Amino acid sequence: MRIVGTGLLGSSIGMGLTRLGVDVTLADVSPTAVRLAADYGAGRPAGIGDAPALVVVAVPPDVTADVVARELDTHRDAVVIDVASVKAPILADLRAAGADVSRYLGTHPMAGRERSGALAGRADLFVGRPWVIADHDAISYVQGSVVDDLILDLGAIPIEMDPTEHDRSVATVSHVPQLVSTLMGARLQEAADEALRLAGQGVRDVTRVAGSDPGLWVQILSANAPAVAEQLRALRADLDRIVDALDDVDREGARRTLADVLADGRAGVERLPGKHGQRSRFTRIAVRVDDRPGQLARLLTDIGDANVNMEDVRLEHAEGAQFGVAEILIAPETEQRLLEALDARGWAVVS
pLDDT, position 274 = 61
pLDDT, position 313 = 86
Contact between 45 and 21 under an 8 Å Cβ cutoff? The reply is: no
Q: How far apart are CA 212 and CA 193, in angstroms?
A: 23
Contacts of 242 (CB under 8 A, 6+ apart): 257, 258, 261
The pLDDT of 100-121, averaged and rounded, is 86
Contact between 161 and 169 under an 8 Å Cβ cutoff? The reply is: yes
- CB atoms inside a 10 Å sphere around CB 139: 17
Query: Domains of the chain: which residue ranges?
Result: 2-161, 168-270, 277-350
CATH assignment of 277-350, among 1.25.40.10, 1.10.579.10, 3.30.70.260, 3.30.1480.10: 3.30.70.260
Q: At the topology level of CATH, where does 168-270 sit?
A: 6-phosphogluconate dehydrogenase C-terminal fold (1.10.3660)
Burial class, 64, CB count within 10 angstroms (exposed 0-12 / middle 13-18 / buried 19+): buried
Going by CATH, does the domain composed of 2-161 fall within 3.40.50.720?
Answer: yes
Q: What percent of the chain has a predicted confidence (pLDDT) above 90?
A: 68
**Side chain identity at 29, as an amino acid letter?**
V
Please determine, for residue 2, whether its predicted confidence score (pLDDT) is greater than 50. Answer: yes
Query: Which residues are 108's β-sheet partners?
Result: 132
pLDDT, tens only, 79-96: 999 999 999 999 999 999
pLDDT, tens only, 258-286: 999 999 998 998 888 765 445 456 788 98
pLDDT, tens only, 274-319: 654 454 567 889 899 988 899 999 999 999 999 998 888 888 776 5
Distances from the Cα of 228 to the Cα of 91, 173, 347, angstroms: 19, 10, 46
Contact between 267 and 281 under an 8 Å Cβ cutoff? The reply is: no
pTM of the model: 0.74
Distances from the Cα of 267 to the Cα of 261, 262, 281, 311, 331, angstroms: 10, 9, 11, 20, 19
Q: What percent of the chain has a predicted confidence (pLDDT) above 70?
A: 95
Look at residue 165 and give its three-state secondary structure: helix
Helix locations, the chain, DSSP H: 8-19, 31-39, 61-74, 88-96, 141-153, 163-170, 176-187, 193-196, 201-206, 214-223, 225-247, 254-270, 295-305, 335-344
Please determine, for residue 320, whether its predicted confidence score (pLDDT) is greater than 70. Answer: no
Radius of gyration of the chain (CA): 24
Which has the closest alpha carbon to 120: 5, 3, 4, 7? 7
pLDDT, position 276 = 45
